[in-house]
Each structure stands twice: as C-alpha cells, then as structure tokens.
Chains A and B, each alone.
Chain A
Amino acid sequence: MSVTLREKAQVLDETALDRALTRIAHEIVEQAGGVENIALVGIKTRGVTLAKRIAAKIATIEDQKPSVGALDITLYRDDLGLKAEQPVVRGTEIPFPIKGRTVVLVDDVLFTGRTIRAAMDALMDLGRPRVIRLAVLVDRGHRELPIRPDYIGKNLPTSRRETVAVMLREHDGVDRVVIQEPSE
C-alpha cells in the first residue's frame, strides 16, 4: 500500500541549510529589535529541532537566548476521524507565558497551511501573544488557507505528487533537503 519514493533532486545541502537558518535568525532579530520578547515555538517534531538551532544562532548574535517551546498540534487537527486510526499525541511543552510576546512559529515545510492553522489555535489556547510570526525552512506552495510565512529558508515550487523531505542531523544523521517523487 505504501508508495516508494525516489529522490528527484537535492534542494539544500548542509552548508545551504545552515546559511538559511542563519539568515532567518538575523531577520527575526532585526524585525523584533531585540531578544527579550521573542519566543520560538517549534512544531513537532522537526520544527522543534529547527527552533532550537535558530535560538542558538540568535544567542550568538545577541548574547541572549530566546525562549524555546515545543508545540504538538495533534489535538487541533481538522482531519481527526477521517483516518482509520488516531495520530499519536506527543504533548506540548511551552514552560513560559506567551501573553504579550512575539511568538515565532517554526516548522520545516509549509504546504497546505493546515498545520499552521492548527498551531495558531493551539497557541491561542495557551495565552494571547502580541504577535505570531511564521518561520519555515521550505515553502513548497499549494496553500489551502490564507497563510503566509514571514521568514523563509527556501522557496521551492513543487508539484502536489512530490514530497519534500527535510533531514536533520538530530533525527536522520544528516542535514539536507530533497524533493522526492513516487517511483512507478
């Protein structure tokens, strides 16, 4: 039943991926004008890893590390009950108040926008941030909701049948982004 995917092209290598995150870190600091009020909230699982890396980069720029949290959006999905079995709930860990802060949501790939919609609902239940911004490593298009990222690592036009795989050292042993397509 599962379709096998084959790699079509490499989009980012280790250096390019790192540069993209460095640029995002600078843009976040520049727009916010400081670190005190920033909280980075990664969407599980790879968004959390990216949020930690961006936070580390901000710390080298500004000598101060922003708060980092992890958000699980499972309980806020709009497709529950449409699948044969329930997705795994992984738990949210945001051990600081988000009220009045600039929250930057971090995810690996922006696609339909439904994950971000769910993430915003989840955040609102935890408090009222002053502003929510969105940072993604790859924007692959095909939005189904009016959602637009503020910080983008790489704009990547794709077809719907393709898959964008973000591989990170912490999970996959390697830093790279590739486009895959079903191999018939």
Chain B
Amino acid sequence: MAWKRKDLLSMQGLAAAEIRAVLDTAESMKEIATREIKKVPTLRGKTVVNLFYEASTRTRTSFEIAGKWLSADVINFSASGSSADKGESFLDTAKNIEAMSPDVVVVRHKASGAPALLAKNLRCAVVNAGDGAHEHPTQALLDLLTIQEKKGHLEGLNVTIVGDVMHSRVARSDIHGMKTMGMTVTVAGPPTLIPPACQELGVKVSHRLDEAIAHADVIMMLRLQHERMQAGLIPSVREYSRVWGLGLDKLEQCRPDVLIMHPGPVNRGVELSPEVADGPYSVILDQVTNGVAVRMAVLYLLAGSKAA
C-alpha cells in the first residue's frame, strides 16, 4: 500500500500512487453503501472528531456517515455555541480535544494553513476538510473518483474549471490532483476571478466560455459566492450568469459525452441552469455519493495505521 502519511492536508505534494491508493480503497468501500446493513467493524473503538469552524452540511455529514459506517465514534464540534465563542484559541481547543484521545481530527477553518498547524501540534491524524482559499483535498479525491468511474480512466482527459478560481480551495485541490494524474486542466472565468499566477500551476487560462468548454471531457462549475459581487469583482450576478453560467444553449457546443460537475451547493440559475444541473450530463449527486466512499477510504488509511 502506497499510503504512509499521518495526515491528509493537501493534494499538492501527493504522489500519483498515493492518490491511486485512496481511489482504489474508495472503490471497494462503495459496496458497503449497497448493503442492507451499512456497517463494517473496521474502526471499532476509534474516535473521529469533526472540528468545524465554518458552516458545512455536506462535508461534515459525509465525514460523519463515513466514520459511522466504519464503526468509529464520531463527535461533531462546531465553533458556534462552543468554547471558541468564549475566546478559547484554536490551538487550545485542539489540545483539549486531543486530551480526549481521538484518532482522527477532521478540521475545517477559514484560515489557510490551520489544518497544517494542527497536524504539527497533534499526535493524532489530521484531515483537512477545507481551509480558507487553500485546499479541500477530499473534494478533489471524490471528483477524481467520479470522473474515473464515468470515464474509465483519468490520464489524458481535458477538464475545464469555470468560475471563481481565485477564491476556490476546490479548484486548487482539483488542479493539483488532476495534474498529478496526467489530466489537462483549463480554467475559465472573468479576469478578476482568475489568479494571475495560475499558469505556474500548469493550467491553461481562458477568458471565453465557449472556447474553454468546446473540447472538455469534464466541466467543473464553481459556486459564485455572493460576497464576490459586494467586493466589486463582477458587475452583477445577472451578467455573470449570462456570460459564465452554463445553460442548455451552451451545452450544445460541448462534447456529447461531457460530464458536468459542481462541488455544491449549487446556485441554481447563476452558474448552472436547473435544466443542466438536473440533466443527463450532470454527475453532481454521484459526487456526493462518492464523497462518503472517499472519506471512508481516507479514515481507513489514516486511522488504522500504527502512526495514528
């Protein structure tokens, strides 16, 4: 087995063999979801703490289900209504949680690098469930699993990521993971939302949607956060939607076997029209299903090894 790390903090720096180890394990985990009794005893007696300093339903629930199906005890800690509100520092909270001997801490934080700080200070395994605009590695892994399942392979595929790449940790993790797996990545969006140093990551940049999606095997639409408009980065949501949103008309210019993906939650009618989000090319719900399998794989690989 290629996995030897104590933590999962980023896609950047993961080798293809490590990504492959997670995907292969996740594929095997999918069978458990089809059972009448969805539980295996693998992580019995292990404790997983979800330490979420930012709102999240999908990711937190996904980690919780993943842990429970593997028989781990899963504890959810959200920052609101907790000691964090009383002014306890991030590290103090984490140290206190560690004193209760968890095996894995899953952390989401608005500050980039928060999970890495924890990993350095805690003996248990740490999983980054999204840190600021840095990375969201389990999302990239579930995206890769979904693409591999639908296309049969990863290498050589063209992926276009559309929207607010600048502020997107999903885009960053996807780009690193996809490049490592030998895929060609194009990012497209208004210049204000595309980071200037993007090309250094080895991606192509396009400022025209039609040209960016014409040859794509996979189109990843990113969520437009409402606060971007207040920051003056786009003229209006309506204009953004008209130029950068994906509707049925634009879908006609795509490859007939294109996959439409979205990390969720979808702004219906902004980046995706409802017809596309619910249409036959959309694999958005497969992504959610695969999210549980990928997180089971990550918990298995991290929690079971002696290092944890």
Name A residues whose Cβ lies closer than 8 Å to a Cβ of B. 72, 75-76, 80-93, 121-122, 125-127
Contacts and interface: CB of A to CB of B under 8 A. Distances in A.
B31 A93 contact: yes
A45 to B, nearest CB: 13
A91 B34 CA distance: 12
Given A92-B31, A125-B35, A87 B41 contact: no
10 contacts: A75-B32, A81-B305, A84-B305, A85-B4, A88-B24, A89-B24, A91-B28, A92-B28, A126-B35, A126-B37
A91 B31 contact: yes
B39 interface: yes
The 10 closest A-B pairs by CB, nearest first: A91-B28, A89-B28, A75-B40, A75-B42, A86-B304, A80-B304, A89-B25, A81-B304, A85-B1, A85-B305
Interface string B7-37: 0000000000000010011011111100111
Contact of A125 (B1, B39, B300, B308): B39
Nearest to A87: B1
Nearest to B37: A125
Contacts of A76: 40-42
Nearest to B45: A81
B25 A83 contact: no
A91 B25 CA distance: 8
Contact of A86 (B3, B30, B41): B3
B41 A121 contact: yes
Nearest to A78: B41
A86 B39 contact: no
A86 B35 contact: no
Contacts, number: 60
B10 to A, nearest CB: 20
A58 B304 CA distance: 40
Contacts of A92: 28, 31
A127 B36 CA distance: 8
Nearest to B26: A89
Given A85-B305, A86-B305, 13 more contacts: A75-B42, A81-B304, A81-B306, A86-B304, A87-B1, A88-B25, A89-B25, A89-B297, A91-B27, A91-B28, A122-B40, A125-B39, A125-B40
A121 B40 CA distance: 9
A121 B39 CA distance: 12
A46 to B, nearest CB: 18
A126 B307 CA distance: 31
B65 to A, nearest CB: 16
B306 A83 contact: yes
A92 B29 CA distance: 9
A130 B132 CA distance: 54
Nearest to A121: B41
Contacts of A85: 1, 3-4, 305
Contact of A82 (B25, B37, B306, B308): B306
Contacts of B308: 81
A22 B29 CA distance: 35
Nearest to B27: A91
Interface string B268-304: 0000000000000000000000000000010011001
Contact of B29 (A83, A89, A127): A89
Contacts of B24: 88-89
A154 to B, nearest CB: 32
Nearest to A125: B37
Given A82-B306, A85-B1, A85-B4, A72 B42 contact: no
Contacts of B36: 127
